[in-house]
Amino acid sequence: MQEDEHADADAEPTTKPGGPSVSASAAVSAYSDTDSVHVITPTIAGGVKDDVAGWSVDARYLVDAVSAASVDIVSTASGHWKEVRNVGSGAFAMKTGAVGIGVAGGFSHEPDYLSLGGGGTLSIDLRDKNVTPFLGGSYGHDDVGRTGLPKVYWHTMQKGTVQIGATFVVDKSTIAEVAVDGIFERGYLAKPYRYIPLFAPGVAATVRPGASIPQVNALRLDLRPVDALPDARDRYALSGRIAHRFDSSTVRADGRLYHDSWGMWAGTLDARYLLDVSERVLIWPHARFHAQRGIDFWQRAYEAPVAPDGTPTIPRYRTGDRELGPLYTWTAGAGVRAVIIRGRRQSWSLTFEMEGIFSRYLDALYITQRRALFGNLSVEATFD
C-alpha cells in the first residue's frame, strides 16, 4: 500500500501559503539483537513541493553499517562480519486535475550486491475525490556475488511488481485503503554465503529445534552444500488500512494477507494510536503481529539419501534461512514528535521512536527465538 513517510502525517494538518516549500531531514537509527547483529543507519533526505501547483520532488540517501557475529556466520566457520551498504532513492510526483502520476528510482550497493530499480504510479480522483483508484508497477535488477569474486561469476535476479488498489474517504474523519500486490522474482534467489548441513537418512529426526552448532556438527555429514532455492517466486498480498481522526487523536490499523508460489502463507496486523498531547507534541504507541507458515520445501534438517553407487545425494532445494520457516513476531513500541520551532516561514521538529521485537522460530536450527531493539532519532525542517 501507499505508505506514509511519518506515522503522524494524518494527525497534524497545517495550512501553508502558496508557492513551493523545502524540507530537509537527518536521522540516525540503530538495531541490535540477541543474535549478535548490530546496525547503525544514518540517513539524510530532502524535498521540494508545491501543494497548490500539485508537484513534489524527494530524494533520500542512507548508509547501513552492519556488524554481525550471528550463529549463521559462526556455523560457517567465520567469526565476525562487517559490511557497509549505500542506498539512494529519488521520486517525482505531479497532480493535474483529478489525475496523479509519480515516478521513482533507486539503487542499493554493497561489496557483493548491486540493486537498481524504478517504477511509477497512476491515480485518479473520482466521485468528488471520495474514491481514488491507483495503479503502480516497478522493475528491479540485482547482481549478487561474493566479496572478491569477479563480477563475471556473479548471479542476477530480476523483480517486477504490480499494485492495484483504491483509497476511500468514508466520511470527514475516516479514510480507508485496499490494495492487491503481485511481486514476481526470477533468477538467483538464494543466499551465497549460507551453507547447509546435511544428515544421513534417519538422523535428521534426532536433530531438535534450536540444536547448537556443536550438536549439529556431531551429527552432520561432511557435505556442506551452498543454499539452493528455486529460480522463480511469485508473491501475492492483499492489504488494507483504515484511519479515523477524533478531536485530538488518530487511530490507524493495517492488515496484510500474503501467499506465494513456494507455499508460504502469512498474516500481519499493525495498529497505532496517535495522540495530540499539545499543539506541538504528538505521541503514539505502536503494536504489530506477524505470523507465517514455512515454505513447502522447508526442513529443519535435510537428509542426503544414498544413491545406488553408495554416494550421498544432495537435495535439489535446501535452505537454512529461518525467515523462510514457520515463525511469529511481536513488535511493540512508542514514538514522540515535538515541534521545536514553528514560525511563519519555517518549522523544526524532533522525532524519537523505540521498539522492541520478539521473534519465535518454531522449527529452525541453532536458535528458537530472537529479541531485538530498534531506535530512531530524526530532526526535520520545513521552509516555505
pLDDT digits (tens, 9 = 90+) for 271-289: 999 999 999 999 999 999 9
CB 260 within 8 A of CB 236: yes
Mean pLDDT of 55-83: 89
So what's the pLDDT on residue 53?
Answer: 94
So what's the pLDDT on residue 8?
Answer: 41
Whether 308 is in a domain gets the answer yes
Mean pLDDT of 199-207: 94
So what's the pLDDT on residue 147?
Answer: 82
So what's the pLDDT on residue 13?
Answer: 43
So what's the pLDDT on residue 2?
Answer: 43
Mean pLDDT of 257-265: 98
So what's the pLDDT on residue 75?
Answer: 82
* Whether pLDDT at 296 is above 50: yes
Query: Quick one: what percent of the chain has pLDDT higher than 70?
Result: 95
Instruction: Work out the pLDDT band at 77, boundaries 50, 70, 90.
Output: low
Q: What is the mean pLDDT of the chain?
A: 93
Whether 15 is in a domain gets the answer no
Q: What is the end-to-end Cα distance of the chain in Å, rounded? A: 29
So what's the pLDDT on residue 17?
Answer: 54
Domain boundaries, position 40 = 22-383
Mean pLDDT of 159-176: 98
Whether 229 is in a domain gets the answer yes
Whether 14 is in a domain gets the answer no
So what's the pLDDT on residue 197?
Answer: 94
212: domain CATH number is: 2.40.160.40
**By C-alpha distance, which of 58, 123, 119, 120 is closest to 97?**
123
So what's the pLDDT on residue 148?
Answer: 83
CB 141 within 8 A of CB 113: no
Mean pLDDT of 105-118: 96
Using CB atoms within 10 A of its CB, is residue 205 exposed (0-12), middle (13-18) or buried (19+)?
exposed
So what's the pLDDT on residue 258?
Answer: 98
- What single string gives the DSSP state of each residue in 33-48? ETTSEEEEEEEEEEEE
- 191-195, 339-343, 354-358: segment of lowest average pLDDT: 191-195
Predicted confidence (pLDDT) per residue in 1-23, tens digit: 444 433 343 444 444 456 899 99
Mean pLDDT of 110-129: 96
Whether 13 is in a domain gets the answer no
So what's the pLDDT on residue 308?
Answer: 87
Mean pLDDT of 296-324: 93
Phi then psi for residue 11, to 5 deg, are -100, -5
So what's the pLDDT on residue 80?
Answer: 78
Whether 110 is in a domain gets the answer yes
Higher pLDDT, 78 or 295: 295
Whether 173 is in a domain gets the answer yes
> Any long-range contacts for 216-223 (C-beta under 8 Å, 24+ apart)?
216/75, 216/365, 216/366, 221/197, 221/304, 221/312, 223/198, 223/304, 223/312, 223/314
Whether 7 is in a domain gets the answer no
- The count of structural domains within the chain is 1
Higher pLDDT, 68 or 15: 68
